Amino acid sequence: MRKSISAAAVALGGSLALAALVVPTAATAAPTTGGTCFDLGVAGKYGEFIEGNDTHTPDAEGAVAVGGNADFRGGFTVGKELTGDEVDALPGGYSLVVGGNLVHDSAYVGVENGKGVYAGENQGPGQLGRITKGKSPIDFAKEFANLRHVSTEVAKTTGGAPVLDGRGITFTGTDTKTNVFTVAAATLEKANEVYLKVPAGSTTIINVTGDSYDQSKAPTTGFLIWDHGKNAYVLDDKLQSADGGAERAKLLWNFPTATKVVKYGVKDKGSVAWPGSILAPNAAFDLTIGGPVNGSVWAKSLTGSGGAETHHFPFTGCLPGGTTTPSESPKPSASASTPGGTESPKPSESASTPAGTGSPTPGASESPKPGGSTGPTPSPSASHSGSTGGGSNGGGSNSGGGLAFTGAEGIMTLTVGGAAVLAAGGGILYAVRRKKANGAS
C-alpha cells in the first residue's frame, strides 16, 4: 500500500509538472485584424484598386489606385465622397495613385478630396487638379498577393446554396454574424433578379465559382435586399438600401478563379446597380456603360464608362480566416525542469474554424417584391455554429467541452495550481517515507 501511495504521488506530481510546461501556442490567421478577420490591407482603403490598367470615365466617388496605366481620356474625378479621416488614412494622403502613365489627352482629371500622384508619364495637355508626378506609395505586387490569398482562403468556406425560383435567385441566411453562400457563375447568370435576406448588420460572403461571370446573360436587372423595418425587399441603389445600407456595407462578392466579370449595362437597354464590394483579383472587370457598383472593386483590370461608377460604400464586414499560420512553439526556460530528463513536448499546431454559414431553404410563404411580383421568402434554417467572425473588430470566442486555456491567465492558474498540488504530493510522499523509516527503527 505504501509503495502504491508513493507511486501515485510521484505520477501525480510528474503529470502536473508536465502539464505546466505544455503551453498551447496561440494561432493567428494570416493576415488578420483582431485575430479572426482577414485584413484587406491598403487595398481595403480604396474604392477602385486595380493591379493593371484602368480605363474609366466619368468618376469614382471614393479613392482610386491603379498599378498600371490610367486611361481617363473621357475625363475623370476622384474622391468626392471621401471624409477627411478617410483621406488621412490613405498612404501619403493620396486618393488617386497611378503606378504607370496618366492618359487623359485634353480631358480634365482631378481629385476633389485628398491629392493624386502618377509615377509614369503625363500623356495629355488637359488640366490636372491636385495631381502631381511622383513615386507610387503602394506596392501593388504585395497588395495583390494578399488579396489573392484572402480570396482563395475565403472561398474555402463553402456555404449554403441559394434558391433559384424561376428567373429569380434568393440568398437567405440566419446567422447574426456571418453568412456564407457558394454559387456557380452559370447559376447566378440565370437570374433576372437577385434577393438577399440576412440578419441586419451581419456579414455576407457570396463565393462565385467559375472562370467568368456575365450579368447580361439573363440579364440581371435588379438586386434586392430585405429591409427588416419595412418587412419587404428593397431595390438597392445609391439613394436607398435595406436597413440604411447595413447589409450592403458588409456584403462581399468573391470571385477567386474568375478571369472575367461583366456587370450588366447595355446602351438603350438598361443597366443595374450592384450592391456590395467585389473581390476579383484575377479578373478583367467590365463595369460596361451604365449602373454603379455600390461598394469597392478589387480587380486585375477595369473598364467602364457612362454611369458605370463606383460609389463610396466601403466594406466594413469581417472575413473570417480560413486557415492559420501558427506562431513558433515557445521554448522552455532554462530554469524549468523536465521530468525524466526528456525534452519538454511542444504543443500541437491548431487551425481556426471559419464563422458559421447560413444555409437557405425555400419557404412556403410569399412576400411582396418590387414591381408587384411575389417571390419566395425562405424559412429560416439552422445556421452552423462555431462562428468566429464578429464584425469589424473580429471578436469571437471558442466554446466546447474539456479544459479551456484563456490566454496567460489560464496558463498561470494551471501553473500555480499544479505547483500547489505538486507540493502537496511531495508532502504526502515525505510523510509516508518518514513513517516507514520510524517503523523500521
| List of residues 6+ apart from 109 with CB closer than 8 A | 72, 75, 76, 77, 102, 116, 126, 127, 128, 129, 131
Task: Give the whole-angstrom CA distance, residue 243 versus residue 305.
Answer: 30
Domain identity same for 221 and 319: yes
Predicted local distance difference test score (pLDDT) of residue 268: 85
Domain identity same for 235 and 205: yes
Q: Is 271 within a domain?
A: yes
Q: Is 167 within a domain?
A: yes
Predicted local distance difference test score (pLDDT) of residue 51: 98
Predicted local distance difference test score (pLDDT) of residue 380: 35
Domain identity same for 425 and 312: no
Domain identity same for 251 and 387: yes
Total number of domains constituting the chain: 2
Predicted local distance difference test score (pLDDT) of residue 327: 31
Predicted local distance difference test score (pLDDT) of residue 142: 98
Domain identity same for 196 and 308: yes
pLDDT of the chain along its 441 residues, tens only?
Answer: 333 333 333 333 333 333 333 322 222 222 333 448 999 999 999 999 999 999 999 999 999 999 999 999 999 999 999 999 999 999 999 999 999 999 999 999 999 999 999 999 999 999 999 999 999 999 999 999 999 999 999 999 888 999 999 899 999 999 999 999 999 999 999 999 999 999 999 999 999 999 999 999 999 999 999 999 999 999 999 999 999 999 999 999 999 999 999 999 998 888 999 999 999 999 999 999 999 999 999 999 999 999 999 999 999 999 998 444 333 333 333 333 333 333 333 333 333 333 334 444 333 333 445 443 444 443 333 333 333 333 333 333 333 333 232 333 333 333 334 434 334 444 433 443 443 334 443
Predicted local distance difference test score (pLDDT) of residue 419: 38
Closest C-alpha to 43, from 304, 237, 277: 277
Q: Is 125 within a domain?
A: no
| List of residues 6+ apart from 271 with CB closer than 8 A | 263, 264, 265, 288, 289, 290, 291, 307, 308
Predicted local distance difference test score (pLDDT) of residue 321: 80
How does DSSP classify residue 320?
B
Task: Give the whole-angstrom CA distance, residue 333 versus residue 327.
Answer: 18
Domain identity same for 430 and 302: no
Task: Give the whole-angstrom CA distance, residue 36 versus residue 319.
Answer: 8
Domain identity same for 230 and 369: yes
Domain identity same for 8 and 152: no
Amino acid at 69: N
Closest C-alpha to 157, from 321, 382, 333, 287: 321
Domain identity same for 379 and 438: no
Measured CA to CA in angstroms, residue 190 lies from 28, 57, 158, 170, 412 at distances of: 39, 29, 21, 12, 58
Domain identity same for 319 and 440: no
Domain identity same for 249 and 157: yes
Task: Give the whole-angstrom CA distance, residue 34 versus residue 37.
Answer: 6
- pLDDT tens digits for range 111-165: 999 999 999 999 999 999 999 999 999 999 999 999 999 999 999 988 899 999 9
Q: Is 423 within a domain?
A: yes
Alpha-carbon torsion 406, 409, 415, 421, what sign? negative
Predicted local distance difference test score (pLDDT) of residue 120: 98
Is residue 292 within a helix (H) or strand (E), and if so which, with residue range? none
What is the domain range of residue 209? Answer: 145-331+350-398
Task: Give the whole-angstrom CA distance, residue 206 versus residue 124.
Answer: 41
Whole-model pTM: value is 0.69
Predicted local distance difference test score (pLDDT) of residue 98: 99
Task: Give the whole-angstrom CA distance, residue 417 versus residue 201.
Answer: 43
Task: Give the whole-angstrom CA distance, residue 437 versus residue 425.
Answer: 18
Q: Is 39 within a domain?
A: no
